[in-house]
Amino acid sequence: MSPEAPIPIADHAAESLDLGPDPSLLLVDDDEAFLRRLGRAMERRGFEVEMAGSVAAALAAISVKPPAYAVVDLRLGDGNGLDVVERLRERRDDARVIVLTGYGAIASAVAAVKIGAIDYLSKPADAAEVTQALLAQGGELPGPPENPMSADRVRWEHIQRVYEMCDRNVSETARRLGMHRRTLQRILAKRSPK
């Protein structure tokens, strides 16, 4: 992994993927670096990639040409990825949609599956995992991730998310997490776990 690419996006070229007659793929994520890397990796696999960095951009792309495939982050700067999933399913009911969640938000991921997503993956997901999930047939389940987040990292991500949602207010965050304020301050002062 190069120093400029902290998010693993495997770019092994696929042998010969059966993408069907329409290989259009919409990638929706507000992390621009992740979006570009995943877009390049998916193009190498034969997809015709369109990228959107917001809910508004994704909805505009869907209204012009609903894609056959989509990978949608659930948490976007201007709204919720569930809106994108729902609109795409309205416009194209055969679309294969995968949702990405960076915080292990299982309830949101389950809601996405209920409204039409075929699967969900935790971020960071690499291109191989995304491709496998998009092309999985029937009841075939994708295998476990090669490099899942450690339990410490998942906990740290959750604490950071709640901290940001509380406008970086330590006392309020500690109250909501049910922990002592000083314990939270020590956790926030440390580097993120691997």
Instruction: Provide long-range contacts, Cβ within 8 A and 24+ apart, for 84-93.
Output: 84/28, 84/55, 84/58, 84/59, 85/112, 85/115, 85/116, 85/117, 86/115, 86/116, 87/59, 87/62, 88/26, 88/62, 88/116, 89/115, 89/116, 91/62, 91/63, 91/66, 92/66, 92/67, 92/68
In tens, the pLDDT along 16-65 reads 577 778 899 999 998 888 889 999 999 999 999 999 999 999 999 999 99
User: Which is more confidently placed, 135 or 123?
Assistant: 135
* Pairing of the two strands 75-76 and 79-80: antiparallel
- Identify the CATH class of 24-135: alpha beta
Q: What is the pLDDT of residue 177?
A: 92
- Rounded mean pLDDT of 169-175? 93
In tens, the pLDDT along 2-21 reads 333 434 444 444 445 777 78
User: Which is more confidently placed, 57 or 162?
Assistant: 57
In angstroms, the CA 113 to CA 98 distance is: 9
In angstroms, the CA 62 to CA 184 distance is: 42
Angle between helices 181-189 and 151-165 (to 10 degrees): 110
Mean pLDDT of the chain: 81
Residues above pLDDT 90, as percent of the chain: 36
- Tokens encoding 78: 């201007």
Q: What is the pLDDT of residue 144?
A: 60
Of these ranges, 29-38, 101-110, 111-120, 133-142, the one predicted with the greatest mean pLDDT is 29-38
Fold of 151-189: Arc Repressor Mutant, subunit A (1.10.10)
Question: Half-sphere exposure (CA, 13 Å, Cβ side) for 146?
Answer: 11
168: left (phi over 0), alpha (psi -120 to 50) or beta: left
Spell out the domain ranges in the chain.
Answer: 24-135, 151-189
Instruction: Answer whether 170's CB lies under 8 Å from 181's CB.
Output: yes
- Rounded mean pLDDT of 130-157? 72
